[in-house]
Amino acid sequence: MTDQIYAYQSIARATHEHGVDTMFGLMGDANLFMVDSFVRDFGGRFVPATHEGSSILMALSYAHVSGKIGVATVTHGPALTNCMTALTEAARGHVPLVILVGDTPVDNPRHLQSIDQRELVKVTGAGFEQLRSPATVGKDVARAFYRAQVERRPIILNMPADFMWQEIYHDTQVLDVFTAPGGVAQGDILDNAIGMIASARRPLILAGAGAVGARDQLIALADRLEAPLATTLKAKGLFNGHPYNIDIFGTLSTPAAYDLIAQSDCIVCFGTALHDFTTDRGKLMKDKRIVQVDVDPTAIGGGLHPDAALVADAGLTAETIVYWLNEAEIQPSGFTTELDVAQLTMHPAGSDKASDGFVNYVHALERLEDALPKDRVLATDGGRFMTEVWCRISVPNPQSFVCTVNFGAIGLGLQEAIGAGVGAADRPVVLFTGDGGFMMGGINEFNTAVRLGLDLIVIVANDSAYGAEHIQFIDRKMDPSLTEFHWPSFADIAKSLGGDGVEVHSKDDLEIAITALQNRTGPFLIELKLDPNDVPRMRV
């Protein structure tokens, strides 16, 4: 473009030039004209959230499901402070996002909403890029997109409001990014790792989110070793269909799988940082050799110190290990010939017994597993109810699973479900959330799902309490009443916000809800009424 344009138009154009067609956000003084230009001049889609933090979470799950860079925008001051939990969730999840954030005018340091936005962003773990001047828009936007991809975290592009109406010549800048760093493991450490693997009699392959792209190579290694396969929570569904997939590794394992893991003598870990829940605070890793492979050096040694650490690509390393096992004519372990996989993947069956006015939670999950759409994207909030969901509700693959676990927060689920719905095209999204999480972050965005016409199914586990705290009072024989709440009907709220909803007080009500579910025409909410004293404990 040879003619002069305004800086806000240049930001919108530069964003469009990076292949962005969808932007989430909330408009304010410093970003409204940029959003308008993105939509009207460049045909972009703007998804307006009700709360600024929601836009970050929507962009996060959109990026996860679609495989694209997520883009969001908010204005300055309190708009950015409203994003702190969401930014921390995204940064700890290593999600590449670009957040176009307005800032107060440079020439007005006493602006009511002025705050040191760089220092604010720093504590979340996100990156910060300053728009230096109107003339450098192209370079600064390109730098933000480059950093988001190579650093695998949110990057805030800080845009002073007084730059927006300055006229400039647009300068196209799109940096080529090599987004698959890391190479083939080699040297003595590789030799030591192969020696440990070759000598193992009961090896096991564990894959985390960082190894999702190496599925075929990891299966080839497992088959060569005759070793079972397992995943971390965030890689759930990666090995669906494999005869020796034992599903989630750690505190979420079935009792039989937990015993099997404890009996193994070598765990070969790809793309996982091995946090406390995966290792059951180290218990599952005792008295066995640990080989850890990750392209990110900071992921190694954080939870425990492995016997061999390889900073390398998961797929290439798996292929290399298979090659040398073949060259050395190492015999398979025979471990999988001993396994009863049906037993290893079977969680204890639930009962349909419940107190009057309540439905049994595990029974409800087992029925919903059968009744929910099979091509679903599954999203989960945080909190007491989610561990049973993670164990009992299946997903097609890791890209179809969005779990808000990076910061241990509740109240993030519905926002991420919306972003997943935008990124998943015509596939239905199923969200499981607790009553506290829905009240905290769900009600204000349920209408957003209605406005967007999403095929969203929300299951609210409602025990009328903050359950994790409730059970702690019960365990210590103390009065739990401070944790209890008399919420309004969530089903009625869903209807008032333009969707539909059903309350479930019994197993008969559950069947009615499942029938209604099949005929849904928009966002649909099922409210499971649960006895706070009869909910399964968190498996952590």
Domain 361-529, classified CATH 3.40.50.970, yes or no? yes
The model's pLDDT over 3-21, given as tens digits with 9 standing for 90+, comes to 899 999 999 999 999 999 9
With cut-offs at 50, 70 and 90, classify the pLDDT of residue 247: very high
Which residue matches tokens 């002069």? 4
Mean pLDDT of 160-175: 91
β-partners of residue 528 are: 461, 504
Q: Which of 54, 81, 80, 58 has its CA nearest to residue 71?
A: 58
Contacts with 309 (C-beta within 8 Å, 6 or more apart), sequence order: 189, 292, 300, 301
pLDDT of residue 538: 61
For the chain, how are helix, strand and coil distributed in percent, rounded to 5? Answer: 40, 20, 40
Q: Residue 175 in contact with residue 142, Cβ under 8 Å?
A: yes
With cut-offs at 50, 70 and 90, classify the pLDDT of residue 181: low
Residue type at 391 in one-letter notation:
C
**Count of CA atoms in the C-beta half-sphere (13 A) of 538:** 14
Q: Residue 268 in contact with residue 306, Cβ under 8 Å?
A: no
CA gap 305, 291 in Å, rounded: 10
Angle between helices 32-40 and 7-17 (to 10 degrees): 50
Chain centroid to Cα 285, Å, comes to: 25
pLDDT score of 1 more than 50:
no
Residue type at 231 in one-letter notation:
T
Mean pLDDT of 484-495: 91
β-partners of residue 168 are: 5
Element (H or E) spanning 447, and its range?
helix 443-452
Which tokens in the block code for residue 136? 């450098």
CA gap 339, 246 in Å, rounded: 10
Task: Quote the percentage of the chain above a pLDDT of 90.
Answer: 75
Q: Which of 407, 314, 378 has its CA nearest to residue 125?
A: 407
User: 188-344 has which fold?
Assistant: Rossmann fold (3.40.50)
Q: Which CATH number fits domain 4-169: 3.30.70.20, 3.40.50.300, 3.40.50.970, 3.20.20.60?
A: 3.40.50.970
Structure-model confidence comparison of residues 507 and 535, the more confident one = 507
Mean pLDDT of 33-45: 97
The model's pLDDT over 127-153, given as tens digits with 9 standing for 90+, comes to 999 999 999 999 999 999 999 999 999
Q: pLDDT averaged over the chain?
A: 92
pTM for the whole thing? 0.92
Q: Which of 74-78, 245-249, 408-412 has the lowest mean pLDDT?
A: 408-412
In a 3-state reduction of DSSP, which class is residue 489? Answer: coil
Element (H or E) spanning 71, and its range?
strand 70-74
pLDDT score of 99 more than 70:
yes
pLDDT score of 488 more than 80:
yes
**Where in the chain are all domains bearing CATH 3.40.50.970?**
4-169, 361-529
The model's pLDDT over 43-60, given as tens digits with 9 standing for 90+, comes to 999 999 999 999 999 999
**Where in the chain are all domains bearing CATH 3.40.50.1220?**
188-344
Mean pLDDT of 149-159: 95
CA–CA distances in Å: residue 462 to residues 365, 376, 384, 489, 516 = 14, 23, 11, 10, 19
CA–CA distances in Å: residue 454 to residues 89, 271, 433 = 24, 33, 17
The model's pLDDT over 278-296, given as tens digits with 9 standing for 90+, comes to 998 899 999 999 999 998 8
The model's pLDDT over 211-220, given as tens digits with 9 standing for 90+, comes to 999 999 999 9
The model's pLDDT over 438-461, given as tens digits with 9 standing for 90+, comes to 998 878 899 999 999 999 999 999
Strands 289-294 and 308-311: parallel
With cut-offs at 50, 70 and 90, classify the pLDDT of residue 534: confident
